[in-house]
């Protein structure tokens, strides 16, 4: 037998072997009859071996044969390249398709919106409603979670040190992260936005306390329906503090009550609580929600007026007054048509 014929034979046998191997991989890697229907979120943790991953997938009824999954990963040269993260795996996917998902790091992300003015409790409940975590755990963590200096406070009346610093935005978050990881995402984004837009620099240059700025901005956010009124409302709050007048913001009463009440009564304003800005002078102990960048800028650059009062009109705008008598006339005209 000449050498050329021998090479042909070896090559043919190799081709048959590869074809057989591919056929076997295809048969063993078919999970359709075994797999549970529907999609599942799979958490590949840092440090997990291919064996660990294969066993986890088998227990979740996604992979019929763990050894076949490991062989598939080795055959593709990807056994050491499976990335940690959260993945959405459809029931019935082949071993090869799952290996490719893990190797390419196609981590499952979903949209999560923190609206302007949202507070810690509402954010925690929304996370739970979407199956992203436990509200109680998120809320408990927010009490003392303060990774940045400006979030820290010794005020014993502050309910949540994280309150006000869960920046309102639309996030692409990993499905299945821990409550602390979600908290970190929101707070870290606040810091990034403040730094990018010069707020941290401005606060430092003016020797201000960012926590106080956010505190007032949260009330401005909740009071103003339209962003163009935010600087004027911020100006009213500044004016009241300057003359030693209580801020008297209904938004702090809503925060105490824990629910949006259409009309705040006189009795509500008598609630004995550190956050009640009718009964206490100056700012409340801490922010009552998450203000937008525009509300924060409004507090830094308030409109200079001599207004001390405002009342909401039916169209969402506010009527501003300089004296209490003017304020009462505005209320009579708006609500009673007198």
pLDDT digits (tens, 9 = 90+) for 191-200: 999 999 999 9
Residue 218, token pair as written in the block:
């949260």
Does position 325 have pLDDT exceeding 90, yes or no?
yes
Confidence category of residue 45, pLDDT binned at 50, 70, 90: confident
For the beta carbon of residue 80, count every other beta carbon within 10 angstroms: 10
Instruction: Enter the pTM of the model.
Output: 0.74
Residue 3, token pair as written in the block:
């050498």
Q: 24-104, what's its fold?
A: Dna Ligase; domain 1 (3.30.1490)
Lowest mean pLDDT among 93-102, 214-223, 329-338: 329-338
Instruction: Determine contact, residues 188/136, Cβ cutoff 8 Å.
Output: no
Backbone region of residue 316 per phi and psi (left: phi > 0; alpha: psi in -120 to 50; beta: other values): left
Number of H helices, E strands in the chain: 13, 6
Nearest CA among 213, 260, 262 for reference residue 234:
213
Residue pLDDT, tens place only, 255-307 = 999 877 778 888 999 999 999 999 999 999 999 999 999 999 999 999 999 99
Q: Residue ranges of the domains in the chain? A: 24-104, 113-305
Beta bridge partners of 89: 40
Strand residues in the chain grouped as ranges (E) = 39-44, 85-90, 109-114, 169-174, 309-312, 318-321
Beta bridge partners of 42: 87
Beta bridge partners of 311: 319
Q: How far apart are CA 297 and CA 206, in angstroms?
A: 13
The whole-chain average pLDDT of the chain stands at: 89
pLDDT of residue 9: 47
Q: How far apart are CA 216 and CA 247, in angstroms?
A: 10
Does position 161 have pLDDT exceeding 90, yes or no?
yes
Instruction: Determine contact, residues 22/94, Cβ cutoff 8 Å.
Output: no
Residue pLDDT, tens place only, 64-86 = 999 999 988 998 898 899 988 77
Q: How far apart are CA 58 and CA 46, in angstroms?
A: 19
Does position 7 have pLDDT exceeding 60, yes or no?
no
Instruction: Determine contact, residues 142/122, Cβ cutoff 8 Å.
Output: no
Q: How far apart are CA 64 and CA 60, in angstroms?
A: 10
pLDDT of residue 21: 52
Q: How far apart are CA 95 and CA 114, in angstroms?
A: 37
Confidence category of residue 3, pLDDT binned at 50, 70, 90: low
């Amino acid at each position: 037998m000449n050498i050329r014929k021998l090479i042909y034979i070896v090559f043919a046998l190799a081709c048959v072997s590869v074809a057989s191997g591919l056929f076997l991989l295809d048969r063993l890697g078919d999970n359709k009859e075994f797999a549970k229907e529907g999609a599942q979120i799979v958490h590949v943790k840092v440090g997990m071996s291919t064996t660990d991953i294969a066993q986890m997938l088998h227990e979740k009824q996604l992979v019929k044969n763990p050894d076949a999954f490991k062989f598939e990963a080795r055959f593709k040269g990807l056994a050491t390249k499976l990335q940690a993260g959260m993945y959405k795996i459809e029931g019935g996917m082949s071993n090869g398709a799952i290996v490719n998902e893990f190797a390419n790091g196609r981590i499952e992300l979903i949209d999560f919106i923190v609206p302007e003015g949202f507070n810690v409790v509402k954010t925690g409940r929304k996370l739970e409603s979407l199956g992203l975590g436990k509200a109680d755990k998120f809320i408990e963590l927010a009490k003392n979670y303060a990774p940045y200096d400006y979030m820290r406070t010794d005020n014993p009346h502050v309910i949540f040190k994280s309150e006000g610093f869960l920046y309102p935005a639309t996030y692409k978050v990993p499905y299945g992260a821990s409550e602390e990881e979600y908290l970190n995402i929101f707070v870290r984004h606040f810091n990034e936005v403040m730094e990018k837009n010069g707020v941290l620099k401005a606060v430092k240059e003016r020797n201000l306390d960012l926590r106080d700025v956010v505190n007032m901005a949260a009330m401005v956010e909740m009071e103003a329906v339209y962003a163009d009124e935010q600087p004027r409302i911020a100006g009213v709050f500044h004016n009241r503090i300057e003359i030693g007048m209580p801020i008297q913001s209904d938004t702090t009463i809503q925060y105490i009550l824990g629910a949006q009440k259409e009309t705040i009564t006189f009795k509500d304003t008598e609630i004995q609580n550190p956050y009640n800005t009718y009964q206490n002078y100056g700012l409340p102990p801490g922010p009552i929600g998450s203000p937008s960048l525009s509300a924060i800028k409004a507090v830094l650059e308030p409109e200079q007026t001599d207004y001390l009062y405002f009342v909401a009109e039916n169209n969402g705008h506010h009527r501003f007054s300089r004296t209490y008598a003017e304020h009462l006339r505005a209320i009579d005209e708006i609500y009673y048509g007198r």
